[in-house]
Amino acid sequence: GGGGGGGGGGQKMHCVAPSGGVLLLLVSDRPNQFLCHYLSSAMVHGLRPTLLGWDSGSWLGGGSPKPWTFHLGAKLVLPLHYLAACGYSNDTLVVFTDHDVLFQGGAAALREAYRAAAAASGSHLLFSTEHQPYPEEVGPLFPPAPGPAPFRYLNSGMWAGPVGAVLELLQTLVGVRRGESLPALLDVYLNWERHTARASPTPRVYVDNDQTAYARLFVSGSSS
């Protein structure tokens, strides 16, 4: 079965062993029907996804759900916190997805699909793509779709890469490279009601859509 991770606030981190060299990550702060299908299909193929973002109030009732932008920011902050704390070897393939995914194979199939796509693209980091850009204004900045690829625009709902490359990417996106503190960002996520009550400035990662962050970074690199 899958494992829970993403402990904070002094709790000991539970680091799940990769399955066949693959570490599956997703973030969810509340139950939903898509998550049930995701977990069912993963287990059928012997995969062990790690669910980050457990919130007892939202999952079990009695608590206030976090604002949606906090969930989007958590898709960047929580994987970074988890990977930095667990110290996986760099030959571990990290595969991050949203909930709306059904698996059609196990770890070996995921590694082979990644190997083929990485070889074809010449890149260590791979992203899913889609028909329309988000945000729309960055659409003209995207390069043409490669070869016969049907989709042109980056989508933040699935990405994959080795641990080292993923850590560099997430550190850039959450602002660590421009002075943000990862422990402070985690504290804002875990204690969002307290920070909101104090009218504390909300870190940028919890204001922007995560796909906006990915798209900005991608088009800035493509156009430089």
pLDDT digit string (tens) for 156-208?
A: 899 999 999 999 999 999 999 889 999 999 999 988 888 888 877 899 999 98
Q: How many residues does the chain have?
A: 224
pLDDT at 1: 41
CA angle 78-84-87, nearest 5°?
130
pLDDT of residue 224: 42
Do 45 and 105 contact (CB within 8 A), yes or no?
yes
CA gap 59, 56 in Å, rounded: 5
> What integer pLDDT is reported at residue 5 of this predicted model?
52
User: For the chain, what is the mean pLDDT?
Assistant: 88
| Prediction pTM value | 0.89
pLDDT-derived band at 222, boundaries 50, 70, 90: low
Structure-model confidence comparison of residues 207 and 11, the more confident one? 207
Q: E strands, 70-187, where?
A: 93-97, 126-130, 153-162
